[in-house]
Every structure is written in C-alpha cells, then in structure tokens.
Amino acid sequence: MAVAADVLSRPPLGRYPRVEARGEFVFRFVIPLELCSPENRHSHGLAWLHAARKNDLYKVMFDQHPRIRTAPLQGRPFLRQIRFSCREPDLPSDGFKTPIDFLCVPRPAKRPGGRSKRGLGFIVDDAPKYIERAPAWWERAPMGKGFALLEIWSGE
C-alpha cells in the first residue's frame, strides 16, 4: 500500500483520469498482477489453466476477506479499479472481470453436477443496475512492484 500511496500522491500521467471515490470506504483488495491480467492474455488456451488462475485469485481475495458476507451491500455500491505496473496495458479495465465476479453473492449449482458460483457476497450482481463501476485506470509503478487494487465503496 505504500507504493499506491506514493504513486497516488503525485499528479496523474494524464491519459487516464483518476476517479474520486463515492460514499464510504468498505473494503480494498490488493491483487497480484499475474492474477489480474488483461483478458486477452488468457482468453485462448487450456481451460484447466484458466481454472487454476481463477482458483488462485479467489484464494488471494478470500485470504484478505476470510468470510463470506451474509448480506450484500445496500443501494448501488461503487467500485474503483486501479492497475499499478511498469508498463501501460492495452485496456486498463479488462483485467478486473474475474475479481469483480468474485465480489458477487455465491450461488449454488442450478442442477446436480452443475457448477456453483463462488463469491464473497459484497454485491448482488455485477450488472450496472446493481453497481456503479468507475472506469479503470493505470498508474506507473516501479518494475517488479506492480499490483492491482479493487476498491469497494458504499456509493451515493
């Protein structure tokens, strides 16, 4: 978090405007870049490899918030996504799809043998009618010290 505080204390680079938070702070996830990579890096390939990455991502998020909420946040929570890396990504927002999916309420399998949906219970769903999602942005970080932040705020 020291890297994030230092980078955010300086003026932005100008390509991506910083978005002010809305509402009260709820929680912040710090995610390793390799688990929050842009979707075009893993949209093709072996399903088992992607499943392993998702399992690792869920574990990192669960380790930071080790209980599943019994009720989602009321209203329309506000999400901020910030990528800190030494190289500017093609699209700064597309690496947050899976982490945001894990913020949803968990759901059991619809039929026997089906897949259940893992979630931490912060939001009902990631559809725009349930959340407000700020445009993601990129901030330069020193080489080897990159990470992603996913912040949850109460919204207005």
Number of domains into which the chain is organized: 1
Task: Say if residues 153 and 26 touch (Cβ distance below 8 Å).
Answer: yes
Q: Rg for the chain (alpha carbons), in Å?
A: 16
Domain that holds residue 61: 2-108+115-153
**pTM of the predicted structure, to 2 decimals:** 0.86
CATH number of the domain that residue 138 is part of = 3.30.1330
Tell me 9's DSSP state: H
Instruction: Report the chain (156 residues): mean pLDDT per 10 consecutive residues.
Output: 73 76 95 80 61 92 96 96 85 79 94 91 96 90 90 92
Three-class HEC string of 43-72: CCCCHHHHHHHHHHHHHHHHHHCCCCCCCC
First and final C-alpha spacing in the chain: 26
Q: The tokens of 12 are what? A: 């932005």
Largest Cα span, the chain: 53
